Structure 1
Amino acid sequence: MNDAAPMLETFVYCSRAAEGVDDAEVDRIIEWSQRRNVEREITGVLVFGSGVFFQWIEGPPAAVKNLIASLDGDPRHHDIVALDRSAEKRERLYPNWEMERVAADDIRAVLQDALESAEDKSNIAALRRILKHLDLGPLDTLGRS
């Protein structure tokens, strides 16, 4: 372990995008997050595919705690499932903000793994809803015949 490494809190979650959240809205979220999170020393990666967000956040514990509080109140997504939260002294895994768009199959594999290790009943229910949502097709095809 590197003693000079900073104390970082890690928060990993997935959630379901609200209706009307499209690629353009996700681009705005990323642009805003990149600017705002630099000030807060928060880095990470945001994956968005088929109407599902998957995000890995790392930064100073107080800043990550504040970010989690703002995520909970954000109307652009729901069914937030915390997959991991921990704090330790280490180097950053994601020193720069990254964005990745993925296919439903890639997201499905991540969520399936999360479901298999989930113990919290509300997380299990939310993960099942997200997986069911993926079975229905991407958000932009919902409600169209």
Structure 2
Amino acid sequence: MVYQLVYVSAAQDGSVNTTIEDILEKSRENNERTQITGMLMAHDGNFFQVLEGDEAAVAACYERIQQDERHKDPIILMTKHVDTRSFPQWSMGYASPEDLSDEHRDIIISLTGLIDNLEAQFESTSPEISVLAGSFVRSFRDFGLA
């Protein structure tokens, strides 16, 4: 079984353009070593990332992300075990919403559907989570992805 973790965070300085290359370079190096695959999307000052691999390795990776000053307020949206990786060739793929293939777009659409279903729960536990998740989902809808 493969462990998947999906999270969102905000860019510390509000702009993903200044940090994305550094994040990708370091992520790819670390992820190849620990056999983590995944996909990172950045849009409108926010990051959306899927990490997948061994549960302990993914948890350690997410812990590093939480300590990374380039990420502000990372929030886990989903964790689950799956039979196969969604991004097997990507040590850390990067795409803007308009760059996604149909297959990966379908994955994102299903994840945004999950977020929609959880919004009521987010609102009851944390208004900040609701705003962040809702904002990111709307950014996908702006590109016709959801």
**Cα distance change, pair 79–112 in 1 and its aligned pair in 2 (3 A):** farther
Q: Distance in 2 between matches of 1:54 and 1:22?
A: 11
Q: Distance in 1 between matches of 2:135 and 2:94?
A: 24
Cα RMSD for the two superposed structures: 2.9
The Cα of 1:61 is off from its aligned counterpart by 0.9
**Cα distance change, pair 111–76 in 1 and its aligned pair in 2 (3 A):** farther
**Cα distance change, pair 83–42 in 1 and its aligned pair in 2 (3 A):** same
Give the aligned partner of residue 98 of structure 1.
93
- Structure with higher helix content: 2
Does structure 2 retain, via aligned residues, the 8 Å contact 1:111–1:127? no
* More relative contact order, 1 or 2 (CA 8 Å, 6+ apart): 1
The Cα of 1:45 is off from its aligned counterpart by 0.3
The Cα of 1:63 is off from its aligned counterpart by 0.3
Give the aligned partner of residue 68 of structure 1.
62
Q: Which has the larger radius of gyration?
A: 1
Please list every run of 5 or more consecutive structure 2 residues that lacks an aligned counterpart in the other structure.
Answer: 99-107, 139-146
**Cα distance change, pair 129–83 in 1 and its aligned pair in 2 (3 A):** closer
Matches within 5 A, 1:16-55: 16-19=10-13, 21-55=15-49
Q: Distance in 2 between matches of 1:27 and 1:132?
A: 23
Does structure 2 retain, via aligned residues, the 8 Å contact 1:111–1:131? no
TM-score (norm. length: structure 1): 0.70
Does structure 1 retain, via aligned residues, the 8 Å contact 2:115–2:133? no
TM-score (norm. length: structure 2): 0.70
Q: Distance in 1 between matches of 2:59 and 2:12?
A: 23
